[in-house]
C-alpha cells in the first residue's frame, strides 16, 4: 500500500497504545520530523508514562509543531489521538499554518495491542485501557474527514502496516525545480493584439491566427501568466486559446485571477453577477461552440492558486502572497492569491481599499503579482505589481526573470472605462496605497527598526552571504540617521579597489603583471583597463526629470543626488549639487545616451576632480608633508654626498642612487599635483565615471 504525504503537512498518527505508531514513524520518517507525546512527557516529568504531565507535554508538542509548520517542515504527531477532542487542536494547528492535516489510523485488534504492551515493562496499565482507546477510536473513525483531515488512511492488519510505503508529494504550488528563465505577464483582460505584440517584443515566435494561436521562444523561455485573462477586452476567446495552447505545450504556466474564477463559476452554472466586464466575455462566448466552453472550464478549474519557482526564490500569484502563505494549501491561501487583502473600507469610486501588504513584506522570495492596476510597476520590499491597466488604455507589462527587466507595449486603445482613474486622483491617493507611486504610499518611508538592528545576514547575488554584526549595524544607523543623503537615492554601494600582490621582480611596488595573473587565477577571461583618475569617489544618481525621480525613487522634489561612498552628500555648498546634476543632464541629452541606453535614469560610479576639492586635509596632513620632507631630506643627503664625492672617497654610486630617489620624489609630487587646482565654481570640476 502506498500512502502519499503532501509536503509540507501535519501527519497525525492515530491508534491505541501498542498499535505500532512509534515503530511505523521510525521506519518511514526522520527522527527530527516525529514529535512524540511520550518524549514530551519525559522532557517535563523525567517519566514518559507520567500521565499527570500530559497537559504540559502537549503544550511543548504543539509549540514545537507550530515552529516546524511555520518553517514549512513536515511534522508527524505520535500520540494515541483516539478522541475527536484530542485531534481538534491538531487540525486547528494545521489550519493556522495553512498545511493539510493527514491521518494515518492504526485500527488493529485490541488484543494484539495489549499483548505488545505486556512485553514492555514501562507500560503499567491493564487491558481495559487499550479496550477503551480502541472503542473511542472506532466511534469516531467515520468522522475524520468531517473533522478536517484531507487524507485518511486506515490500516487494519499487521500485513497492511508492513506493506506500507510512504511517498512524499510536493503540493501543487511547489514548482521549485523550474528555474526559468521566465517572462511573467500581467493582467491581459482579453487584449489579444497587445498580448501578441508583447510576446513578439519578448522574442517569441507567434502564430496569431485567432482560431489556433501558438507561441514559443527559440531559447525555451517560459511565460508565466498572472491571471485575469478574461473580461473587459475585445477578444477573450483568442487570449484563452493562445494561453491554453502554450500551457498545454509546456511553454507557459498560468495562475488564476478573480475574473477567471468568476467566469468558471458561470460556466459551471452558478449564479453570479454579470458585472466588471463579464457581460462582454459572455457575449463573445456566444459565438463559440460548447466544446470550447467546456475546454475553458476544465482549464480554469485546473489552475493552481500560485506557484513557488526557482528554488523558492520566486513566487507568482494574481494578487500577491504574504510570506507565511507561500507554498501552502488552504482556502485562505487561495482567497488571498485571488483577491488580495482589503482594509474593509471603500473609496469614493465604490471600490474596496487595498491593504498595503507589500509594505509589510519581509519574505526572502521575490513576489510578482497583478490584480490592481498601477500607472507604473514599482519594487517594494521584493514585490512588484505588473498590472499596468492595458484594458484601460495603459500598457501590457512583462517582467523578465531572473533579469528583472520590465518590457511593456502600449494598449492600442481604451477598451473599458475604469471605475477608478488609472492615474489616481488626490483623494484616492490618500487611501489606496497599492495604486500609488512609491512616494505617495502610506508608511513607505517608515523604517522598521527590526530591519536594521541586531545581527543580519544579507544574501547577495554575486557574493553569497554578507554578515552585518550588531555593533556595525548600530553605528551605521547612527551615521545614516544624522549625516546620510535621502535613503531613497542610496541604491548603490561602491566597491573598494583591492591592491594587487606586491611585485616580486624589479623596482616596482605594484605591476600590472600581478594584476592580470590574479584575474587569470580567478577564471576571468577578459579584463577592461581604464585610466585611474585621482579624485574623490562619488556616486551620481541622475534622473531625466523630476517626474522620473518621483516615480522611480519616490522623491517628491529634485532630479538626482550625488553622494560619497559612505552615503553622505558630496557637496556641502548649497546649489552645487543641483548645478552639477543639471550639467550632467544636458550632457546626457546632447550625447543621446538616454535613447541609446533606453532608460530615463542612470547611476554613475565616478571620480570627481580635482582631488584637492574634497581632500584638503589628506593633502595637508599626508601627501604634501611627505613630498616636502622627502625633498628636504633627500636634497640634504645629495648635498652631503656631492661634497664627499669631491674627495673621491667612492660615494659616487650612493650619490647616483639618491639622485634617482630625488627624481622619484619629484615625480610623486608632480603625480598628485596634476589632480590639484583651485576650484572657485562648478565649472572648475571634472567628472570621470568608471
How far apart (Å, rounded) are the C-alpha atoms in residues 270 and 264? 9
Q: Residue 602's pLDDT is what?
A: 97
Mean pLDDT, rounded, of the chain:
89
How far apart (Å, rounded) are the C-alpha atoms in residues 683 and 573? 14
What's the fold here for domain 2-170?
Rossmann fold (3.40.50)
Going by their DSSP bridges, the two strands 306-309 and 314-317 should be labelled as antiparallel
Residue with cell 538592528: 453
DSSP 19: S
Give the CATH architecture of domain 175-440.
4-Layer Sandwich (3.60)
Going by their DSSP bridges, the two strands 165-170 and 205-207 should be labelled as unpaired
**Can you tell me whether residue 456 is helix, strand or coil?**
strand
Q: Residue 156's pLDDT is what?
A: 92
Query: Is the entire prediction scored with pTM above 0.75?
Result: yes
119-123, 209-213, 547-551: least confidently modelled range: 119-123
Q: Which of 392-420 are b and which e, b meaning 16 or more Cβ less than 10 Å from the residue's Cβ? A: bbbbbbbbbbeeeeebbbebeeebbebeb
End-to-end CA separation in angstroms for the chain: 66
Q: Residue ranges of the domains in the chain?
A: 2-170, 175-440, 449-473, 616-674
Cell of 567: 552615503
The stretch 491-510 carries a mean pLDDT of 83
Give the pLDDT band (50/70/90) at residue 432: very low
Cell of 395: 500598457
- How many residues appear in the chain? 690
Strand partners, 252: 223
The per-residue pLDDT for range 622-663, each reduced to its tens digit, is 888 999 999 999 999 998 888 887 777 678 888 888 999 999
Cell of 119: 512485553
The stretch 102-121 carries a mean pLDDT of 86
Strand partners, 350: none
DSSP 502: P
Amino acid at each position: 500500500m502506498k500512502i502519499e504525504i503532501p509536503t509540507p503537512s501535519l501527519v497525525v498518527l492515530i491508534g491505541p497504545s501498542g498499535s505500532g505508531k512509534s515503530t511505523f514513524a521510525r521506519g518511514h520518517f526522520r527522527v527530527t520530523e516525529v514529535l512524540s507525546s511520550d518524549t514530551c512527557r519525559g522532557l517535563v516529568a523525567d517519566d514518559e508514562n507520567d500521565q499527570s504531565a500530559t497537559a504540559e507535554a502537549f503544550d511543548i508538542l504543539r509549540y514545537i509543531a507550530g515552529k516546524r509548520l511555520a518553517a514549512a517542515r513536515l511534522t508527524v504527531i505520535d500520540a494515541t489521538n483516539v478522541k475527536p477532542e484530542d485531534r481538534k487542536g491538531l487540525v486547528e494547528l494545521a489550519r493556522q499554518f495553512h498545511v493539510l492535516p493527514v491521518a494515518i489510523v492504526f485500527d488493529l485488534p485490541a488484543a494484539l495491542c495489549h499483548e505488545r504492551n505486556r512485553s514492555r515493562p514501562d507500560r503499567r496499565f491493564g487491558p481495559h485501557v487499550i479496550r477503551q482507546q480502541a472503542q473511542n477510536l472506532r466511534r469516531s473513525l467515520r468522522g475524520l474527514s468531517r473533522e478536517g483531515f484531507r487524507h485518511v488512511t486506515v490500516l487494519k492488519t499487521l500485513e497492511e502496516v508492513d506493506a506500507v510505503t510512504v511517498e512524499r508529494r510536493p503540493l501543487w504550488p511547489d514548482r521549485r525545480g523550474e528555474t526559468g528563465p521566465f517572462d511573467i505577464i500581467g493582467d491581459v483582460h482579453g487584449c489579444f493584439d497587445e498580448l501578441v505584440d508583447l510576446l513578439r517584443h519578448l522574442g517569441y515566435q507567434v502564430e496569431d491566427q485567432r482560431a489556433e494561436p501558438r507561441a514559443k521562444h527559440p531559447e525555451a523561455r517560459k511565460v508565466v501568466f498572472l491571471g485575469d485573462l478574461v473580461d473587459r477586452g475585445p477578444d477573450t476567446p483568442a487570449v484563452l486559446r493562445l494561453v491554453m495552447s502554450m500551457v498545454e505545450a509546456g511553454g507557459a504556466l498560468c495562475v488564476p485571477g478573480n475574473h477567471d474564477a468568476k467566469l468558471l463559476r458561470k460556466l459551471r452554472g452558478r449564479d453570479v453577477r454579470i458585472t466588471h466586464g463579464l457581460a462582454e466575455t459572455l457575449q463573445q462566448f456566444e459565438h463559440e461552440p460548447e466544446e470550447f466552453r467546456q475546454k475553458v472550464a476544465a482549464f480554469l478549474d485546473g489552475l493552481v492558486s500560485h506557484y513557488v519557482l526557482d528554488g523558492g526564490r520566486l513566487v507568482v500569484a494574481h494578487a500577491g502572497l504574504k510570506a507565511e502563505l507561500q507554498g501552502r494549501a488552504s482556502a485562505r491561501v487561495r482567497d488571498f492569491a485571488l483577491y488580495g487583502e482589503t482594509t474593509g473600507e471603500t473609496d469614493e469610486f465604490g471600490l474596496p481599499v487595498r491593504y498595503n501588504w507589500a509594505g509589510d513584506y519581509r519574505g526572502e522570495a521575490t513576489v510578482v503579482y497583478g490584480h490592481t492596476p498601477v500607472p507604473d510597476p514599482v519594487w517594494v520590499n521584493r514585490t512588484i505589481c505588473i498590472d499596468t491597466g492595458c484594458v484601460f488604455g495603459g500598457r501590457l507589462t512583462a517582467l523578465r526573470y531572473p533579469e528583472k527587466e520590465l518590457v511593456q507595449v502600449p494598449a492600442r486603445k481604451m477598451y473599458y472605462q475604469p471605475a477608478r482613474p488609472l492615474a489616481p486622483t488626490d483623494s484616492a491617493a490618500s487611501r489606496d496605497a497599492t495604486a500609488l507611486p512609491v512616494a505617495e504610499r502610506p508608511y513607505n518611508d517608515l523604517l522598521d527598526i527590526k530591519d536594521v538592528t541586531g545581527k543580519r545576514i544579507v544574501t547577495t547575488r554575486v557574493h553569497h552571504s554578507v554578515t552585518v554584526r550588531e555593533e556595525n549595524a548600530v553605528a551605521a544607523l547612527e551615521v545614516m540617521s544624522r549625516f546620510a543623503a535621502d535613503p531613497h537615492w542610496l541604491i548603490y554601494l561602491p566597491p573598494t579597489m583591492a591592491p594587487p600582490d606586491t611585485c616580486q621582480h624589479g623596482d616596482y611596488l605594484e605591476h600590472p603583471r600581478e594584476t592580470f595573473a590574479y584575474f587569470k587565477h580567478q577564471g576571468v577571461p577578459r579584463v577592461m583597463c581604464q585610466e585611474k583618475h585621482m579624485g574623490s569617489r562619488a556616486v551620481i544618481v541622475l534622473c531625466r526629470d523630476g517626474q522620473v525621480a518621483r516615480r522611480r525613487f519616490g522623491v517628491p522634489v529634485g532630479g538626482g543626488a550625488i553622494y560619497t561612498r559612505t552615503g553622505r552628500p558630496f557637496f556641502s555648498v548649497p546649489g552645487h549639487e543641483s548645478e552639477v546634476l543639471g550639467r550632467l543632464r544636458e550632457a546626457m541629452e546632447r550625447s543621446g545616451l538616454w535613447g541609446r541606453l533606453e532608460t530615463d535614469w542612470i547611476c554613475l560610479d565616478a571620480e570627481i576632480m580635482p582631488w584637492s576639492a574634497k581632500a584638503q586635509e589628506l593633502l595637508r596632513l599626508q601627501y604634501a608633508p611627505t613630498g616636502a620632507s622627502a625633498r628636504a631630506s633627500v636634497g640634504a643627503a645629495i648635498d652631503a654626498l656631492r661634497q664627499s664625492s669631491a674627495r673621491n672617497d667612492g660615494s659616487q654610486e650612493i650619490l647616483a642612487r639618491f639622485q634617482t630617489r630625488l627624481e622619484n620624489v619629484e615625480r610623486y609630487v608632480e603625480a598628485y599635483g596634476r589632480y590639484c587646482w583651485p576650484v572657485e565654481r562648478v565649472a572648475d570640476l571634472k567628472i570621470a565615471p568608471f
